[in-house]
Amino acid sequence: MPIFRKKQSTAKPSASPLTIHLMVDEGTFDEGTGDVSFDGFWPYLDLGCTRRMPFDELCPDEPRVFYSNVAGVSFHAGQLQLSCFDVGQVVALVPEPTNTADTNAIQVVGSIGKRMYPTGYVPAPIARQLAGVAQGQTGQGIVVQTFSKGGARVGLRIVGSFGRVLQAKSV
């Protein structure tokens, strides 16, 4: 299993970190155009793994915390293959208030050393709801699932947060 690396965040943390408990999950499914394999974890909010975080691209479940796909990754297919987007890696969530298409846009960015690699966006409905708390700060995300087709990564799911420090623990 990957080792979770720590990364500094400019988020203003709440009093205590939110621990996400991760249970291994992998398999394949047929999307009609061929098999897609997935690798990673299901995120839970409790050590007993009875409160699974709901996958929702419309509304954060916990205050300022969400679990969703990363939108627009097909536009960054080459960068999506980099190690900074492997399961367990920490990614930055960077608001883009000057984005002409969506002033609430939040970009998902991985890093290797000091080099930054954008790979997509937090889904727009979630970004709209986070706009007030995301202003002027960088959020934190953890890659919890990857999807591959034909040996190439084609998708990511993250648990992300603004204003709450996330810590992940494998169970």
Q: Which pLDDT score is estimated for 31?
A: 66
Of 92-96, 103-107, 165-169, which range is least confident?
165-169
pTM for the full model?
A: 0.84
Q: Per-residue confidence at 15, pLDDT binned at 50, 70, 90?
A: low
Of 32-36, 82-86, 166-170, which range is least confident?
32-36
Q: Nearest CA to 38 among 148, 151, 161, 170?
A: 148
Q: Which pLDDT score is estimated for 9?
A: 44
> Are 150 and 81 contacting, i.e. CB atoms less than 8 angstroms apart?
no
User: What is the pLDDT averaged over residues 144-160?
Assistant: 93
User: What is the pLDDT averaged over residues 141-168?
Assistant: 91
Q: How far apart are CA 160 and CA 128, in angstroms?
A: 14
- For the record, the structure tokens of 90 come out as 């920490």
> Are 95 and 108 contacting, i.e. CB atoms less than 8 angstroms apart?
no
The three-point CA angle 62-63-66 to 5° equals 55
> Are 65 and 71 contacting, i.e. CB atoms less than 8 angstroms apart?
no
Phi, psi dihedrals of residue 111, rounded to the nearest 5°: -140, 145
Q: How far apart are CA 59 and CA 36, in angstroms?
A: 26
- For the record, the structure tokens of 78 come out as 């080459």
Query: Which structural domains are found in the chain, ordered by start?
Result: 18-170 (3.30.70.2330)
Query: Which residue type is seen at 12?
Result: K
Q: How large a percentage of the chain has pLDDT more than 70? A: 88
Per-range mean pLDDT, top range of 62-71, 105-114, 135-144: 105-114
Q: Which pLDDT score is estimated for 10?
A: 46
Q: How far apart are CA 144 and CA 76, in angstroms?
A: 19
Q: Per-residue confidence at 42, pLDDT binned at 50, 70, 90?
A: confident
Q: How far apart are CA 67 and CA 126, in angstroms?
A: 10
> Are 65 and 133 contacting, i.e. CB atoms less than 8 angstroms apart?
no
Q: Per-residue confidence at 95, pLDDT binned at 50, 70, 90?
A: very high
